[in-house]
Structure 1
Amino acid sequence: MFTLFRWLVRLIAGLLALIVLAGVAIWYFAARSLPDYNATYSVGGISAPVEIVRSTEDVPHIFGANDEDAYFALGLAHAQDRLWQMTVLRRTVQGRLSEVFGASTLRTDELMRRLDLYGAAVKSVAAQDAPTRAALEAYARGVNAWIEQVNSKALGRGAPEFFVFDAPIAYWTPADSIAIQKLLAAESSPALQNEVLRARISLLGQGWVNDILPDMPGQSVPKGPEYGAIFPTVPKQMTIEDTEAPMSPFPSPALTARANAFAAAARRSAAGGTLLANDPQMGFTTPSWWYLARLQLKSGGVIGATIPGIPFILTGRSETFGWGIAPAYVDDQDLHVEELNPSDPTQYRTPGGWKPFETRRTIIEVKDAQPVTITLRWSDNGPVLPPSHFNLAAVTPPGAVMSLSWTALSESDTTLSAMRALMQAGSIDAAVKAGAGWVAPAMDVVLGDQKSVGRVTMGAIPRRDPRNVTFGRMPSPGWLPEDRWQGTLPYDDTPRDLSPQDGVAMATDAMTVNRSFPGHVSYDWGDSQRIQRLSRLMGEREVHSRESFMSIQLDTVSQAARSLLPLVGKDLWYTGAPAPEGTPERMRQQALGLLAAWDGDMNEHLPEPLIYAAWMKALQNRIIRDELGPLASEFDHLDPLFIERVFRNTDGAARWCDVLQSAPVETCTDMARMALDDALMQLKAKYGPDLQSWRWGDAHEARQDHPLLGRAAFLNWFVNIRQSVSGGDFTLARNATAGDGADPFAAVAGAGYRGVYDFADPDSSVFITATGQSGNPLSGHYDDLAGLWRRGEYIPMSLDPELAHAAAAGITRLEPATP
């Protein structure tokens, strides 16, 4: 027995030793992917030595002999820190995820192949101006130089993920950078999904669509026919099919990219210099979309936020000029119903008769499965989309398919040329001129030089025929000439507000202009709540400072809560004597007491935001569930305009409060009371009976997850960044909620970057990203900025070369390779 025990001990010890050795070996090889920021590399593709000076936060300050060498170094720095992210983004646009991740991403690959954004990117390379082509080529050389270093020196395959997912790393090309810009357009364009949803609601009749999808106040919106009147053969379908496409670049409309961008002219500044702030908001991920960098160019130094894969700073400042971006919510997508020839389905109906689709076959390689061959089709209006995506099958008539017109599909897309020119503009006038070449995604760009501010919409706006049957709001007949695009509007006609009288320029993806069709910009906007709050905060002070801009950017007061609570609870406050302890009535009274004294601050440490959010969610669901049935699940985020419309009984909208299947006539007060009870019971079950101990941050946790490793047990503890945050769906410090699932209030989208630029003292400008500079989970810079971001702190970034060198945490030197 003792001998057996001794051998068991030896066996266990041996196994433990093997595990330790295996762990050490894995760590050793994976850790080799961490770049040495103090190394010197001999590389081809530069004309003179280049320095990449790293700050303590791993921000590269790049100094080269010319612009091309600087772009080369940025490409190398991006690849050092974000090679895996860049590779996945490129594969997403190419429709080649399944080669690495298997059948789970096949649906996304099929969609991207049919859109062929990558093919459009390849053709758009030739459309760039000469300086931009040179920049793209230099950047690609820099990325490829690092890939060569990784291959030749066995540097851990460039990132730990490449050990888990065997993904060959192709060399970077200029088209890859344009493709990632087009991917950004997918993140910023909800029009397609809005059209499908509007058509589905319209099919139900009874005018529901005017209430549940309300137009922004003040808009002049023409009333078109019901969708069923245009396409009477489309059946009314209320069922929801599972259309999930893992790693799809198309978020739900409620989570589409948004931003705040605002500026104050020098006369509105306490220090006498222009102020500008920007915080683009996209889906949370680790690493963040954004990467801080500073470039020394021939035109001068420029500093701000880049997206790995693109060689230009998208939002930032130079010595004399700053700019910020916000999605313009231009209606830049239109769906077209293409009628098939009954006797030959390879043809579709056009104004001139039947015409064959343009077709091409493509093969999608799938890891651990057979390849999938699909036939791609294009009509004159654009690519034909699969009916299994975006619920298109529910709005497509029998004997027809759906095609998409989208500005991002342009094969002569010069957005990157405009982006480069904007980055080097130096003045508002030059910046406005630079925007002429911007195509997609359309952006409201807030501008500021040393004295003045302004705002201009950059991006192609489709020109529609005044006779368009759906006004671009729902799918339209693709064979009617009046329902086809007539080109785009002249750039000089895009909305702009230069040198505003009040000295303030703002953009929050809210309505910027009210024009009649067809010269309109959009009928669907992000929201109307944040602009109200921003306007109030900007108007409260005659002059602003860097600190006041920071406080505005971090503001967590919900204008929606302030507007809705008095309206929804007007008949519930302080009614009746205190109910017995432990009863639902008593809990309701306690909740109403807390909300009555609450100022709308969505602070993570308070219970009131959680009670409010749960109440409004339960209320909207109760109101719409009987009318919409399964379609109600499409409305998993609160729409304040809809709730306000119902409780004010605008155009008889209070009818939503009556449950159609019940004999009694329910009032909106009844619905408000029952919804509050629903919400409180759900919260009690999850967080206990003590309302005072509830905490918004316990439900509202920012999920900055690694999109792949973050799903793996054990690894997710190391690669996901989870932290409770304040704010909500309609606060300036927007941390948008998931809306559905087990944790509907988890924060899944928000400001991945914040910057405040002060031209009274430019080097006091501050910046932050949501995670860290590195995408390598083994790096100390993987999450070192996350805590600062959560606490509303920033880091300074200077354009002073001497200061950058003096504070350097590492200097990478690039030397031209000798022949």
Structure 2
Amino acid sequence: MWLLRTDQQEDQQKEVHMGDMAADKNSKGKALSAPWTRRVLHAGAVLTGLALLAGAVGAIYGVRAQPRMDGKLAVAGLASKVWVRRDEADVTHISAQSPQDVWRALGFVHAQERGWQLEFNRRLMQGRLSEILGPATLELDQLMRSLDIRGAARRQYQALPPSVQESLQVYSHGIAAFYAKPSQGMAPEFLLLGTKAGEGGASAWDPEDTVGWALMMALDLGGNWGNEFARLNLLQVLSTEQLWQLMPAYPGEQPATAVDLAQFYRQLGVYRNDDAPQKISAPAQQIQSALQQWTGAAVRDMGTNDGLGSNNWVVAGSKTKSGKPLLANDPHLGLSAPAIWYFARLQSPGARAADGSTLSALDVTGATLPGMPFVVLGRTAQVAWGFTNTNPDVQDLYLEQINPADASQYRTPTGWEKFGVREEVFKVKGQSDVKVTLRSTRHGPVVSDAQQQYGKVINTDKYALALRWAALDTDNRTVEAGLKANGAQTVAQLLEAFSGYHSPMQSIVAADVHGAIGFKAAGKVPVRSSANDLRGVAPAPGWDARYDWQGWLSYDQTPQDDGSARGFVATANQRVTEPGYAHFLTQDWSLPYRYQRIEQGLAASNQHDAASMAALQGDVQSLATQALLPVLRSLHSNHALAEQAQQLLAGFEGQMDKARPEPLIFSVWMDELTRGIVIPRIGEQRFAMTYGKRDFRGGLEGILARNDAWWCAPLSCEQQAGEALTRTLSKLQAAYGRDMRQWRWGDAHPALSAHKPFGSVAALAGIFNVSVPSGGDSYTVNVGQYNANPVPADVKAASAKKLLGGRFVSRHAPSLRAIYDLGDLESSRFIYQTGQSGLALSGRYGDMSQEWADGRYRKLQMQPVRWRHVLELQPQKAAKR
């Protein structure tokens, strides 16, 4: 706090000094006698004074809003004192005499550091953003209410064991205790929006909200209903064969279904007529604000996780210098400011739960999620673990046929049944309340009532689209599994703890100090009937019982590997099932480029150490770029810079380095080529609806390899690629000048951790967003995934040219990196892309960003040498009556 205050005072002193210098200089010139000039100078002096006053007020407020990290604080509900210490790496260590006090203190600390993040996430999952943000977020609210995240969370919470409920209760009480007796000023977001934590709800955070946030993580990571709809959309203008050319199955495999999908949907009469009126709600008719663009993209991409992924790997002692295992993990998630993670150590002896059961002792450190009372990714004293997304198909869309004689009914295998109907009232800031009717069927919520894009494609007078999603089931006990994992001390104990894990399915790698390593896919996967010829690839007729799920794979049936065959196990969202695996999981695996690169690195040595793990995490060699470089190098273009570009590309081998021009040329060319080939075949609107998080890379590779005349027409594929290069060079020259040596991939490809919602507000984005130049692409181990369509709303006009409209801004990258050496767990290390604080005025808000971008790490220790801050939380004494 002292450093922050000093820096701000120095900035103010510099401003005053500059003002004195300007006045001095003016006094030496000729006198200014015109009345209008005097008025201008007077107004300028007033504005300068106001600016200085605002700066001083901001500085004072910036200090008051910071959390108390030293001294003593009384916290309601604690049974005994709790130590909250911050070490040199800014990891928060919480030590108490019981797990209950640890969980309560963690809730208090999360509220201290991430109060706005908790509030925004609570409103997001409850569908209540429009109460504070206005009509721009109404469609997103409607989708959340349609999915009924809050209702599902309530049902799942009630089905949890009492001891688990207790842990969530005391955690939420810790958050409430922070707000009951504030020890710091409100986060600036509350002031700017004129709201406060918990406004309009039961409290700032309810126990059910933790379950709800687990569901939101499953929604972010376990979604493929967007792919099903994308296929349905494209099949209106493409044949089934052409669909599989543009969106091919996993390399070396055939599509999961042999059904002629295009004919199938034509026979059903699914599609709307082009002249049919579209049902568009009021916000979509307005001129889109930046906030509306963000909301629209969120709704459009919901249920789509193409291009998203993570890496993890575990190496046996037979392949390491120490003779003990190594484990590395870097989960790739949407970048945000503040980050999704908060690093903490939780420590206490065991205790009794309120129901009389025994709570295990805690000693665990790693990444917590604000909103949850446990370490999600990390290590105990003897075992470490990491996650990637397995991404099985746990979502199916169903075409529900509407009764033409009674629109309140839909068709089932046994006849017509009534839609489930509920009325939802949305409070909208600055407007009257909005009442919306939401429907559900035997499969689940009708998402076509909430996602307007469906009405542009299907005839919603004849059909509704309902979602069957495993995570919404009442038996989802993911939170319980997370709590159990915090007490594991061996690989076997850890994997047993995750046996009750539900959603989203995760590929877990683990290692312990005894030398054991392992991989297990943990989570629920539906079993589909052998008569189900669609296999979840595209929307199924909801009235045909053969498309209903038949049960679940058991835990012992999901993929696993003990690492004995190769001395390592790695997952990067590639296919994790061996040839001949008996069960269908999905066909929507990620392209295997990242996995292949990791496999190369791990197989290349038997002397791995933490340094080689870090080098692999930082690797920006793109095997996907290598695959298409021969095409790019062979092209002819009449652009004046074409020869210089080809000279550069001749020595380029796919290193997507932020400081090089070649990755920039390749990436823009790939985008231009995709647009040039695909848009004429599917149209601008479908392209905008389906490109997004997809880059159609697999499809483009096949089209170019076949020299496919239909896709490339009216030109040859070579001509299409050459014209794309010409357009690329023209755009880059306009943005960066003629000197190609000064072009930098990192300039167009910064890693942007955007704030919600102020990252979309030009006047505030510079304060609330965290941005740093970055390398990589969607296929490098050090991933830097960008969404090239549409143009992001949070790109300022002044920088839009330099950022090429923001199309290549990295928004999905390693949300953290962690490395664990089981031979010396105190040498474990971590980093993530922003900082521990969620307060934009804090020096700890983005202080990790450059370290993250440079591939540096901080220590993740249980026994640090010294403490940077020490805070004692004391039980609050009961008030005297």
TM-score, normalised via structure 1 length: 0.92
- The alignment status of 1:443 with 2:506, answered yes or no, reads yes
1: CA distance between counterparts of 2:648 and 2:54? 56
- The alignment status of 1:789 with 2:821, answered yes or no, reads no
- The alignment status of 1:686 with 2:740, answered yes or no, reads no
Query: Is the 1:264–1:503 Cα contact (8 Å) retained in structure 2?
Result: yes
Q: Deviations over 1:532-582 (max 9, x none)?
A: 11111111112311000001011011010112212x24754xx8xxxxxxx
1: CA distance between counterparts of 2:39 and 2:588? 73
What letter matches 2:366 in structure 1? G
TM superposition shift of 1:57: 4.0
1: CA distance between counterparts of 2:98 and 2:537? 48
Query: Is the 1:333–1:406 Cα contact (8 Å) retained in structure 2?
Result: yes
TM superposition shift of 1:163: 0.3
- The alignment status of 1:615 with 2:665, answered yes or no, reads no
Q: Which secondary structure does the structure 2 equivalent of 1:763 belong to?
A: helix
Query: Is the 2:673–2:721 Cα contact (8 Å) retained in structure 1?
Result: yes
Query: Is the 2:149–2:215 Cα contact (8 Å) retained in structure 1?
Result: yes
Aligned to 2:27: none
Aligned to 1:599: 653
What letter matches 2:776 in structure 1? G
What letter matches 1:797 in structure 2? L
Query: Is the 1:418–1:436 Cα contact (8 Å) retained in structure 2?
Result: yes
- The alignment status of 1:361 with 2:361, answered yes or no, reads no
Aligned to 2:138: 106
Q: Structure 1's 376 and 640: CA in aligned 2 closer, same or farther, altered over 3 A? A: closer
Q: Structure 1's 561 and 223: CA in aligned 2 closer, same or farther, altered over 3 A? A: same
Q: Deviations over 1:794-818 (max 9, x none)?
A: 0002112xx3xx5211111111223
1: CA distance between counterparts of 2:695 and 2:458? 28
2:682 to 628, 635, 638: 628
Q: Deviations over 1:417-450 (max 9, x none)?
A: 1111223222221222222221111111111112
Aligned to 1:216: 250
Q: Structure 1's 160 and 237: CA in aligned 2 closer, same or farther, altered over 3 A? A: same
Aligned to 1:165: 193
Query: Is the 1:454–1:497 Cα contact (8 Å) retained in structure 2?
Result: yes
Query: Is the 1:316–1:323 Cα contact (8 Å) retained in structure 2?
Result: yes
State how 1:539-688 maps to structure 2 within 5 Å: 539-566=603-630, 568-569=631-632, 571-572=634-635, 584=638, 587-630=641-684, 631-633=686-688, 634-635=690-691, 637-649=694-706, 654-659=708-713, 662=714, 666-688=715-737
Query: Is the 1:255–1:749 Cα contact (8 Å) retained in structure 2?
Result: no
- The alignment status of 1:343 with 2:405, answered yes or no, reads yes
Query: Is the 1:80–1:146 Cα contact (8 Å) retained in structure 2?
Result: yes
Aligned to 2:602: 538
Query: Which runs of 5 or more residues in structure 2 are unaligned?
Result: 1-32, 285-291, 350-360, 792-804
Name the count of aligned residue pairs. 793
Query: Is the 1:225–1:470 Cα contact (8 Å) retained in structure 2?
Result: no
Q: Which secondary structure does the structure 1 equivalent of 2:806 belong to?
A: coil
Aligned to 1:578: none
Query: Is the 2:397–2:468 Cα contact (8 Å) retained in structure 1?
Result: yes
Q: Deviations over 1:186-220 (max 9, x none)?
A: 21133110001111222324321111001112335
What letter matches 1:527 in structure 2? L
- The alignment status of 1:813 with 2:813, answered yes or no, reads no
Q: Structure 1's 407 and 436: CA in aligned 2 closer, same or farther, altered over 3 A? A: same
2: CA distance between counterparts of 1:301 and 1:796? 17
What letter matches 1:201 in structure 2? L
Q: Structure 1's 518 and 105: CA in aligned 2 closer, same or farther, altered over 3 A? A: farther
Aligned to 2:316: 265
2: CA distance between counterparts of 1:145 and 1:353? 53
Structure 1 residues 108-117 or 339-348, which shifts more?
339-348
TM superposition shift of 1:16: 4.7
Q: Structure 1's 261 and 73: CA in aligned 2 closer, same or farther, altered over 3 A? A: same
Q: Which secondary structure does the structure 1 equivalent of 2:181 belong to?
A: helix
Structure 1 residues 220-229 or 375-384, which shifts more?
220-229
1: CA distance between counterparts of 2:829 and 2:77? 33
2:298 to 248, 253, 264: 248
Aligned to 1:235: 271
What letter matches 1:199 in structure 2? L
2: CA distance between counterparts of 1:162 and 1:540? 52
Q: Structure 1's 320 and 772: CA in aligned 2 closer, same or farther, altered over 3 A? A: same
1: CA distance between counterparts of 2:724 and 2:821? 47
State how 1:114-513 maps to structure 2 within 5 Å: 114-150=146-182, 155-157=184-186, 159-170=187-198, 171=203, 172-206=205-239, 207-219=241-253, 221-230=256-265, 232=267, 233-235=269-271, 245-246=295-296, 248=298, 250=301, 253=304, 257-298=308-349, 299-387=361-449, 389=451, 391-397=453-459, 398-450=461-513, 451-513=515-577
2: CA distance between counterparts of 1:14 and 1:605? 45
1: CA distance between counterparts of 2:526 and 2:259? 19
Aligned to 1:579: none
Q: Structure 1's 592 and 190: CA in aligned 2 closer, same or farther, altered over 3 A? A: farther
What letter matches 2:164 in structure 1? T
Query: Is the 1:703–1:747 Cα contact (8 Å) retained in structure 2?
Result: yes
Query: Is the 2:448–2:466 Cα contact (8 Å) retained in structure 1?
Result: no
Structure 1 residues 776-785 or 700-709, which shifts more?
700-709
Q: Which secondary structure does the structure 2 equivalent of 1:190 belong to?
A: coil
Query: Is the 1:121–1:176 Cα contact (8 Å) retained in structure 2?
Result: yes
Aligned to 2:774: 725
2: CA distance between counterparts of 1:295 and 1:325? 20
2: CA distance between counterparts of 1:627 and 1:363? 42
TM superposition shift of 1:716: 2.3
TM superposition shift of 1:256: 6.0
Aligned to 2:839: 776
Q: Structure 1's 712 and 618: CA in aligned 2 closer, same or farther, altered over 3 A? A: closer
Q: Structure 1's 69 and 305: CA in aligned 2 closer, same or farther, altered over 3 A? A: same
2: CA distance between counterparts of 1:691 and 1:490? 56
Query: Is the 2:272–2:458 Cα contact (8 Å) retained in structure 1?
Result: no
State how 1:91-102 maps to structure 2 within 5 Å: 91-102=123-134
Aligned to 1:523: 587
Q: Structure 1's 130 and 265: CA in aligned 2 closer, same or farther, altered over 3 A? A: farther
The two structures, once aligned, show a CA RMSD in angstroms of: 2.5
2: CA distance between counterparts of 1:739 and 1:457? 31
1: CA distance between counterparts of 2:40 and 2:458? 68
Query: Is the 1:203–1:227 Cα contact (8 Å) retained in structure 2?
Result: yes
1: CA distance between counterparts of 2:549 and 2:603? 40
2: CA distance between counterparts of 1:506 and 1:94? 36
TM superposition shift of 1:531: 0.9
TM-score, normalised via structure 2 length: 0.86
Q: Deviations over 1:581-617 (max 9, x none)?
A: xx93553232222222112110111111011111222
2: CA distance between counterparts of 1:236 and 1:689? 49
TM superposition shift of 1:251: 5.3
1:754 to 817, 833, 844: 817
Q: Deviations over 1:697-751 (max 9, x none)?
A: 1111111222222333443222222221111111100011131321211111111
2: CA distance between counterparts of 1:19 and 1:667? 60
What letter matches 2:270 in structure 1? V
